[in-house]
Amino acid sequence: MRIFLLSLFMLLVAGGTAYAEQPVERFFPYAHENYTLDNGFKSILIPIKGSGLIAYYTVVRTGSRDEWEPGRSGFAHFFEHMMFRGTEKYSSEEYNRLVSEIGADANAYTSDDITCYHMVIPNTKLETAMDLESDRFQNLSYEEGPFRTEAGAVYGEYRKNFASPFSQAYEKMLDTAFDKHTYKHTTMGFEKDIKEMPNMYEYSKSFFQRYYRPENCVLMIVGDFDPAKLKPMIKSYYGGWEPGYVPPQITPEPPQAKERSVDVAYQGRTLPLLWIAYKGDAFDPADKMVASAYLLGDLAFGENSEIYKKLVIREQKVEWIAGDFGFNRDPKLYDVYTRVKDENDLDYVIAEIDKIAETFKTELVSQEELENIKKRTRYGYLMRLDTPDRVASGLSRIVALTGGIEAIDELYGTIASLTPEDIRAAAQRYLKTERRTVLTLKGEKS
């Protein structure tokens, strides 16, 4: 670990010097190699010597975004569960036993644009891990009985999550903000679809056959290994995987021309939630507006922003306020959310958010403040790359959005080039009343 951190420090120092002297061409601090098989299966190999560990990540470039067929939402998340059900070669019990024996903890997560399966292993157990993972991605096998059992468990998970006011707010926000695009439903899916899921055994096999294909999956291996020795192993275990990916038929969302609003009545005690979501753009690392919006969310609504200092610290009207202007494969939402201490202050807080939006649309952020947030963004990302697992985790979403990690260099190069005028232009483009949805959630009164 000390060798690993020292290597990272030296890379940061070198990268920081280059950054100050010339535009960034290479931002990501570790060498990497792309290795693609004839069937379209791509591996991203990032050797980092010294730790004795390897992060093994399989990124499926399918999430709830890809659930385009009516009545079929929730299946990307469902397969996060089913992928641990075993194959003819390794039953679920045998899989779990072997994972434990090699000292790994296999896990997974699903989101709107990604399903990711990951584990961290000693480098001496890499081939065992590859045997297990390649087998289940190519040969997943389950009968209707276990399928129905797991589908029922997914509905139980949905009901448990729905008890949270944040889950209810998010579900209603997406349903209100979108009319046509599949971002209209959450990763869990519409409740009516989840309830019907136990009866969709045959459809589930079709979902797996269309999306769990080599050309739609990317393997990231990060850590202590020799790429020259690894590539033949990848070819041996994944080379026979038959291609056959079928892209989803996603309907683009029509432009929004009028503000939308929705009130959620929460059956329980909670402080009011206020959520304002502006329509954004699809991720493009070369697009200055997308990169500017990414910084704008923090500049306008982050912990160092004026509205945070006013509403959270000085006036104590809200518990917190945050802006999340993140990245998605298709145009989604740039979110501003807060929890208000007194229901009577909701209109006041909305007015303060509008005031800040107008400020950024009409005035220029100072060059010093812009440079400071560029530095925080740059080094905040780099300093999270301190273990193989955190490197792979920090890259997984970019891989899902673009199919590789080259966009990291391009994105941070674009960020480096931004001017105060770019930030103002982004505010003018995105922080429009007609492009937003306003949600309030109120709990039961005592």
Largest CA distance in the chain: 66
**pLDDT score, position 5:** 41
Residue 15: pLDDT over 60: no
Q: Set out the domains of the chain in order of their start, with CATH numbers.
A: 31-238 (3.30.830.10), 260-442 (3.30.830.10)
**pLDDT score, position 6:** 39
**pLDDT score, position 162:** 92
> Are 391 and 31 within 8 A, CB to CB?
no
Q: Write the burial class of residue 339 (CB in 10 Å: 0-12 exposed, 13-18 middle, 19+ buried).
A: middle
Residue 233 CB partners (closer than 8 Å, separation 6+) = 126, 127, 130
Mean pLDDT, the chain, as a whole number?
93
Mean of the pLDDT values across residues 358-378?
97
Mean of the pLDDT values across residues 85-104?
94
Q: Which of 94, 253, 81 lies closest to 151 in space, CA to CA?
A: 81
Distance between CA atoms of 262 and 313, rounded to whole angstroms?
A: 28
**pLDDT score, position 26:** 87
> Are 177 and 279 within 8 A, CB to CB?
yes
Residue 7: pLDDT over 70: no
**pLDDT tens-digit map of 394-431:** 999 999 999 999 999 999 999 999 999 999 999 999 99
**pLDDT tens-digit map of 306-356:** 999 999 999 999 999 999 999 999 999 999 999 999 999 999 999 999 999
The more confident residue out of 8 and 420 is 420
The structure tokens 């009028």 sit at 258
pTM over 0.85? The answer is: yes
Report the length, in residues, of the chain.
446
Mean of the pLDDT values across residues 115-141?
96
Instruction: Quote the Cα angle for 320-321-323, to 5°.
Output: 145
